[in-house]
DNA sequence: TATATATGTAAAATATCTTTTACATAAGGA
DNA sequence: TCCTTATGTAAAAGATATTTTACATATATA
């Protein structure tokens, strides 16, 4: 999965820490997701989409090398 | 999270097992998700949405008692 | 009755996500 | 220079998702 979290976060002038607080997770979690260390849980994906005023389908896309 | 997987699966006349095979997971995983034992991973949510010809945002909704 | 298909469930093992604590670097302003 | 803010990263522990194996029930049909 690829995501546009960093892009949308910056458009809203939020730091990773501010976004983390709004989403009720740690800054490390946001950092890991932005840097594609792992994907968020579905619940967190929805929470981030809400905070960033978009949809899960727009915020995430299957990346090129996704084997099905 | 609440989801419409069972509803959409039945509309397409798929058994839990058939859906599981298409999604490359076990039947127990589909069963557990339909019965709200746990949420799927984000990647699986996207896979299921694709198979069921819908979007993640339409297939899942935050349930009433979701505390934020 | 016997067989097949669909579904529910459970325990143990493994994989993945998230937190906590901690340290490091870069950039900006006082 | 010193302090603050933002970001990257890492290891260990805890929480959650998924698989594997197995058994149970219900329904339909030969």
Query: What confidence tens digit (pLDDT) does each residue in A27-52 have?
Result: 999 999 999 999 999 999 999 999 99
Q: How far is A50 from chain B (nearest CA, A)?
A: 11
Q: What is the pLDDT of residue B63?
A: 75
Rg (CA), chain A: 11
Q: Which two tokens stand for residue A46?
A: 């929805």
Predicted local confidence at residue B58, as pLDDT:
97
The whole-number average pLDDT for the span B37-66 is: 92
CA of B36 to C1' of D24 (A): 21
Asked if residue B44 keeps its beta carbon closer than 7 A to nucleic acid strand C, the reply is: no
The correct answer on CATH 1.20.140.10 for the domain covering B1-57 is no
Q: Name the CA dihedral angle for A48, B50, B36, A58, rounded to a multiple of 10 degrees.
A: 10
Where does the pLDDT of residue A62 fall: very low under 50, low under 70, confident under 90, or very high at 90 and above?
Answer: confident
| Closest CA of chain A from B43, distance in Å | 7
Would you say the C-alpha torsion A17, A19, A24, A25 has a positive or negative sign? Answer: negative
Residue B7: phi, psi to the nearest 5? -60, -50
| Phi, psi torsion values for B16, nearest 5 degrees | -55, -40
Q: What is the pTM of this model?
A: 0.94
> Is A63 part of the contact surface with chain B (CB cutoff 8 Å)?
no
Determine the Cα–Cα distance for residues B65 and B67; give it in Å rounded to an integer: 6
Of A1, A47, A57, the CB nearest to B43: A1
Report whether B30 contacts B41 (CB < 8 A). no
């Amino acid at each position: 999965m690829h995501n546009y979290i960093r892009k949308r976060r910056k458009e809203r002038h939020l730091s990773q820490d501010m976004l983390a607080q709004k989403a009720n997770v740690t800054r490390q979690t946001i950092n890991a997701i932005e840097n594609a260390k792992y994907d968020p849980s579905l619940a967190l994906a929805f929470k981030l989409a809400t905070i960033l005023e978009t949809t899960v389908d727009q915020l995430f896309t299957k990346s090129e090398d996704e084997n099905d």
